[in-house]
Amino acid sequence: MSQVVTRRKLITSGLAGAAGVAGLAVAARIANTYGLIPPGRGGIWGIGETLTYASQRILMSHHSLAREFSPSETSRFVPVNGPAPKTDPYQRHLFTNFKDWRLIVDGLVARPASFSLAELKRMPASTQITHQACEQGWSFIAQWSGVPLSYVLNLVGISTRARYVVFWPFDDFWNSLDLPDAFHPQTLLAYNLNGNDLSADHGAPLRARVARQLGYKSVKYLTRITVVDDIRKVGDGTGSRTPSAGFSWYAGI
């Protein structure tokens, strides 16, 4: 009697296993089609990164807002992780107080453009008091002001093929956002920290502020923003400088 049950169970579990493998393959294709596989490294860590990114993009609202705080809750000290570039173009701009600096916006856009700091400051501004955590574990609360990235992207008109927005800084730590985070209402091109123009160490003249991700996604010293459809064609193809340093592309955790 028990043998019959065993054989039947063996056949069913064999079929279930085959269906599982086929299901996984189909799921991988669907995930790829709907942009649920993050850029960056594949390999063994790709499993966890993909599970995190896909589940958050599926289960969570694309525009859920990070918590905002009252002015009394701002941190007295805003640490600096890595000093400003010592290289020539940046130091020259710093010396002339970014008079000739322009932010280039190009790629898959209808009207490629470049904006001076004064032009950016004349655009509709947004101010937030938000918490920013470093992957190392420390954090601070600060007030940021800047122009929403979505405003600039709408100004230049991105293509329907666009999938990622790439930040190019003066230093090596380039990074990129998918469209849900690029068009998130709290994602700023920030030029003001706690009421003052950004200091050199905090990313002058302009830095990204990405409220729902760890600090390393808030790229400092911006010089150019490129809209692309396929992140694998950009740089080393991993979507940011961080994977080669050991950090995942998606940092919403």
What is the binding site for other proteins (CB under 8 A)? 2, 5-6, 9-10, 13, 44-45, 47-49, 51-52, 56, 60-61, 64-67, 69, 73, 75-79, 131, 133-141, 211-214, 242, 245-248, 252-253
Task: State the CB neighbour count (10 A cutoff) for residue 3.
Answer: 7
The residue (of 83 and 246) whose beta carbon lies closer to other proteins is: 246
Peptide linkage before 205 cis (omega within 30 of 0): yes
Q: Answer whether 36's CB lies under 8 Å from 50's CB.
A: yes
**CB of 18 vs other proteins, minimal distance in Å:** 16
**CB of 11 vs other proteins, minimal distance in Å:** 12
Q: Answer whether 175's CB lies under 8 Å from 216's CB.
A: yes
The residue (of 115 and 250) whose beta carbon lies closer to other proteins is: 250
Q: Which residue has the tokens 């995930």?
A: 31
The residue (of 75 and 116) whose beta carbon lies closer to other proteins is: 75
Strand 164-169 versus strand 113-116 pairing type: unpaired
**CB of 147 vs other proteins, minimal distance in Å:** 21
The residue (of 140 and 151) whose beta carbon lies closer to other proteins is: 140
The residue (of 34 and 45) whose beta carbon lies closer to other proteins is: 45
Write a three-state SS string for 125-189.
Answer: CEEEEEEEECCCCCEEEEEEEEEEHHHHHHHHCECCCCCEEEEEECCCCCEEEEHHHHCCCCCEE
**CB of 230 vs other proteins, minimal distance in Å:** 24
**CB of 106 vs other proteins, minimal distance in Å:** 29
Q: What is the DSSP letter of 40?
A: S
